Structure 1
Amino acid sequence: MATKLAPSPISAFHVIPPIFRALKITKAPGLVPGIHPRTNTSIFGEYLSGFRPIFKAKGTEQTSGLVGDETLAQNKTELYQSLEGINRGIFGIPSAKKSEIEGLVKQLEYQNPTPDPTLNLDKVAGCWKLVYSTISVLGSKRTKLGLRDFISLDDFIQIIDVAKGKAVNVIKFSARGLNLLNGKLSIEASFKIASKSRVDISYDNSRITPDQLMNLFRKNYDLLLGIFNPEGWLEITYVDDTLRIGRDDKGNIFILERSEEISP
């Protein structure tokens, strides 16, 4: 039987666009980049001095839409290549790799084909799988949750129901030594449109199933929920038919790809 516990207000893991956090966008379009010492502004939003947007401003001559499409496809390919072998970044990555990924994310954000995502929620609806997040579980947190040797993190899934204004983040686990026990943490949240690119997210409830897995996490349940709870706001900075990028109110980046999985 699923167990429901009310969380204490702890910083959230916006998987919801983190997962769901991925639904929130930053200025440079989940689902807001960090503070930079010097920025310039273009029709594509703010960008670092010395970093040039991919496209020319309106009114300037462009070669063809095909060139832009090819550049976008190439940037997506490079981003996926940079994400190989890092396990979604959940247990930390070198700072150079983190900077590389953020640079590729910014290039895609400047090319966002859906600049007003909350006005095109059909692009956001459905099931998504987290492929990268700047949220990480390190040190004593990882040890307390048994994520070093005993419990493994599997898929992070987010299901967004636009009609109901609901999102469900599902974090799957497998526990070694218990006949490979499989289970999941499900976090349900509501969202409301705050702007053309941002949504406000509020926590509804959570549960861990089966009970055996809940018993493993019971002592540190608040810690677990504090990491993955999506509450806050999320800016959707990029979304197309297969990829979504978001930034949350804590400055985290979330990258998700569309998934065929439909059940939470």
Structure 2
Amino acid sequence: MASLSHLNQQLLSTNTLPFTPLNSTPSISPPTIGFRSKSFGRPIVASADVSRRVVYVHAVTSDDEWGPDRDVPYAGVAVAVEEKPVETETDKLKKALVDSFYGTDRGLKASSETRAEIVELISQLEAKNPTPAPTDALTLLNGKWILVYTSFAGLFPLLSSGTLPLVKVEEISQTIDSEAFTVQNSVRFAGPLTTTSISTNAKFEVRSPKRVQIKFDEGIIGTPQLTDSLEIPENVEFLGQRIDLTPFKGILTSVQNTASSVVRTISNQPPLKFPISNNKAQSWLLTTYLDEELRISRGDGGGVFVLIKEGSSLLTNQRN
């Protein structure tokens, strides 16, 4: 009967997968765990790489203290593999950038200190740009991108409209079709009874590895979508006084029924489209960072735009 040390030597010389002898101390990290068992009448020796959570299984094919040789060839098999993702420096920078947008309302309410921090993080990401020629990787540009931050002052009046009572800018997005070479910019508004959107359609041309020229040709005012019902509170506070709305329930219910009727009428109407024929209705856009989920662009007005691809976990965790 072969000794245990003889068995380890044989396994080390015949197996190609990583293996740690049972009667020796591993000389390399990460640490491993060895164990022995029987399976289907055949001895099994396994070792586990703890840090990578990988278990290797080997059949013993020589006589030892567990039994005679079964003469069944059995190669090493990786039973379970679970690679722990490694967070890169770029991943950390992206998360830090998104976190810095908190409370800025897409840049409208950003303080000078916050803007300085954002500029620094953007500069560091641009230095690590994995796509140095974005216009040669149009498939990455393809899709819907959600604006999460801008320093472009031309957008601030639009963002300020979201601070008005009962009005909110729900989303600003840009949808790129890389096959048709089209761009649609869209803003979605929400009120107490309705949501609507204003969009512009444009064509773009590639002018350099990083720059595209955009020409707008059509504007669209979306059909208002009214809420089908109203939440009527029991009371409201006004100038420190609590006002009971119970006596007005009947009137408010009548208004609700009228609004529902308007919904069925307006929602069936097509959106309003109008041509944009102004020769000055064009601009260029320079993309300075691009990967599968984050895009940083600079416009001819001097502003910077940070956009996240729809469906990205960065967008899920992003808070304004």
TM-score past 0.5 threshold: yes
SS at match of 1:100: helix
Contact 1:202 1:232 (C-alpha < 8 Å) held by counterparts: yes
Q: Match for residue 120 of structure 1?
A: 137
How far residue 101 of structure 1 moved from its aligned partner, in angstroms, is 0.5
Partner secondary structure for residue 117 of structure 2: helix
- Give the direction of change, closer, same or farther, for the CA distance of 1:146–1:70 in structure 2 (3 Å limit): closer
Amino acid at match of 1:259: E
Query: Per the alignment, in what secondary structure is the counterpart of residue 108 of structure 1?
Result: helix
Distance 2:211 2:162 in 1: 35
Which of 277, 283, 292 is the aligned partner of 1:241? 292
User: Please, what TM-score do these two structures have when normalized by structure 2?
Assistant: 0.50
Question: 1:158 matched to which residue of 2?
Answer: 174
- Write out aligned runs for 1:1-264 (5 A): 70-89=88-107, 91-136=108-153, 147-176=163-192, 179=193, 181-210=194-223, 231-260=282-311
Gaps of 5+ in 2: 1-85, 227-275, 313-320
1:131 aligns to what SS in structure 2?
Answer: strand
| 2-structure distance, mates of 1:241, 1:170 | 21
How big is the shift at 1:83? 1.0
Contact 1:172–1:184 (Cα < 8 Å) also in 2: yes
In structure 1, the residue matched to 2:34 is none
- For 2:139 and 2:297, the matched residues in 1 are separated by 16
Question: RMSD over aligned Cα, in angstroms?
Answer: 2.7
In the TM superposition, residue 78 of structure 1 has moved relative to its aligned partner by 0.8
Q: Structure 1 pair 153/79, CA: closer, same or farther in 2 (3 Å)? A: same
Shift in Å, 1:150: 3.5
Instruction: Give 1:73 deviation, angstroms.
Output: 1.1
CA offset at residue 95 of structure 1?
A: 1.3
Q: Percent identity?
A: 32
Deviations 1:144-178 (A, max 9, x none): x57522421011121100111101111100123xx
- Which structure's CA Rg is the greater one? 2
Number of aligned residue pairs: 174
1:234/1:247 contact within 8 Å kept: yes
Deviations, residues 229-255 of structure 1 (Å, cap 9, x unaligned): 983100000000110000011111001
TM-score by length of 1: 0.60
Structure 1: 5+ residue runs without aligned partners?
1-67, 214-224
Aligned CA distance change for structure 1 residues 159 and 120 (closer, same or farther; 3 Å): same
Q: Residues 165 and 142 (structure 1 numbering): CA distance in 2 closer, same or farther, change over 3 Å? A: closer
Q: How far does residue 210 in structure 1 lie from its aligned partner after superposition?
A: 2.1
Please identify runs of 4+ aligned residues in structure 1 that moved more than 6 A: none
**Which residue is equivalent to 2:244?**
none
Question: CA contact under 8 A between 1:244 and 1:257: conserved in structure 2?
Answer: yes
